Amino acid sequence: MKRRELLKTALASSVGLVGMSALKPLYASDAMMIKAEPMYDVPVTKVTDSCYYILAKDPEPTPENHAFFNNPGFVVTSEGVVVIDTGSSVQIGEMVLRQIKTVTDKPVVMVINTHYHGDHFLGNHAFVSAYPDVPIYAHPAAIEKIKSDGGDFWYGFMQRNSNNAITGTVVTLPNKTFKGGETIKVGDKTLKIHQFGVAHTESDLIIEVVEDKVAFMGDTAMRRVANMADGSFVGTIDAMKKAQALNCDHYIVGHGVHDNVKVCQDMQAFCEAIYNNAEEYYEEGLSDFEMKPKIMADPFMKNVASQWPGYDKTLGVFISLAVAEVEENLF
Ligand SMILES: [Zn+2]
């Protein structure tokens, strides 16, 4: 681990030890670093003979779920395991390693972080501890973001929302890059790395497992009202068209249950319902506040999206973001 670039230890972080009385039980790790208790086991979901993920049932981090609210995935190849997204903490990363062992004895030979949100990279620490030489890939813009402020921000975010359940987690940077457009062989599997522009963030990687007709979508597609603050509605609509054109049988999403191509069609319909309506109502001179009930009356929003987690709480924020993007695209 010493050859890795480590940004911070939990002990050095003031965030990590705020509110000692409220801390979860602490355990001494091998390195005698204070560490929050282990993450409970969540069983794997099998998609094909080689592609798996661990389904997080909650849409957001809480003390009860230890900040486990995204779906780490993995591909078992003849050479070893490729892990796609590592969870929000070293504890969750260690849980993912335990679940991989229920499927195969093969080592982890590669880790990929689909983007720079903390639930997708903070678990890296566990993989580097178990496999010191494992390469961790991400888009160059994702690495820059984690380095500049994303590491600190996401560490604090998870600590606050989980009641310090990620104590002991060390922000561990990816050390290799994929820009999109790469085709690589890992053992008997062919991985195509796609980057379809700014969608959920500017750094999203989609990983297609060619032989299995599976696409790991990161957070570009999901059936929940997700964080679009770093993304683009127009970019997501475009990315969803490209994702559908991959013609995969299975799309594994960062949050929620996997599905066929319908999950990409729904994400496209969701972004179109918000953005296209916002564009139209903006031209009519409506404020985002006035648009909200009209957008909620859109058939897709009323019949489908209203069932998604976070709908009531965050739709207004989404509409504001869409209006900002409409304005940006006008000038
Ligand atoms: Zn995300």
Q: Give DSSP secondary structure letters for 150-183.
A: IHHHHHHHHHHHHTSTTTT---B---EE--S--E
Do 94 and 176 share a domain, yes or no? yes
* C-alpha of residue 28 to centroid of ligand 1, in Å: 31
What span, in angstroms and rounded, lies between the C-alpha atoms of 89 and 66? 9
Alpha carbon of 233 to ligand 1 centroid (Å): 14
- Residue-wise pLDDT for 264-317, tens only, equals 999 999 999 999 999 999 999 999 999 999 999 999 999 999 999 888 888 999
52 and 109 belong to one structural domain: yes
Within this chain, do residues 239 and 120 fall inside the same structural domain, yes or no? yes
Residue 229 Cα to ligand 1 middle (Å):
10
Is residue 234 a contact partner of residue 275, using CB atoms and an 8 Å limit?
yes
Domain boundary among the residues 208, 239, 260 is at: 260
Q: What is the pLDDT of residue 12?
A: 39
From ligand 1's centre to the CA of 254, what distance in Å?
A: 8
Band (259; pLDDT cuts 50, 70, 90): very high
User: Ligand 1 center to residue 219 CA distance, Å?
Assistant: 5
> What span, in angstroms and rounded, lies between the C-alpha atoms of 25 and 16?
14
- For 42, the token pair is 């969540």
- Whole-angstrom Cα distance, residue 232 to residue 234? 6
**CATH number, residue 83:** 3.60.15.10
Task: Determine contact, residues 205/254, Cβ cutoff 8 Å.
Answer: no
pLDDT recorded at residue 331: 79
190 and 322: one domain?
A: no
Say yes or no to pLDDT of 222 above 80: yes
Domain annotation covers residue 254: yes
Gap from CA of 115 to ligand 1 centroid (Å): 7
For residue 98, the model assigns a pLDDT of 98
- How many whole angstroms from 141 Cα to the centroid of ligand 1? 14
Distance 123 CA to ligand 1 centre (A): 14
pLDDT in tens, 166-184: 999 999 999 999 999 999 9
The tally of domains found in the chain comes to 2
Do 237 and 305 reside in the same domain of the chain?
no
* Per-residue model confidence (pLDDT) at position 199: 97
Taking the centre of ligand 1 as the mean of its atom positions, its distance from the CA of residue 256, in whole angstroms, is 13
303 CA → ligand 1 middle, Å: 25
Over range 116-123, report the average pLDDT: 98
If you measure from the C-alpha of residue 56 to the centroid of ligand 1, how many angstroms do you get, rounded to a whole number?
A: 14
* Domain coverage including residue 71: 15-260
Ligand 1 centroid to residue 120 C-alpha, Å: 7
pLDDT digits (tens, 9 = 90+) for 8-43: 444 434 343 333 334 444 554 555 578 999 999 999
Ligand 1 ion: nearby residues, β-carbon < 5 Å: 117, 219
Asked whether residue 198 falls in the same domain as residue 308, the answer is: no
Report whether pLDDT(151) > 90: yes
> What is the Å distance from ligand 1's center to 32 Cα?
32
Distance CA 153, CA 43 (A): 29
User: Residues 207, 216: contact at Cβ < 8 Å?
Assistant: yes
Gap from CA of 50 to ligand 1 centroid (Å): 24
Q: What percent of the chain has pLDDT over 70?
A: 90
What rounded mean pLDDT belongs to the chain?
Answer: 91
Query: Residues 75, 184: one domain?
Result: yes
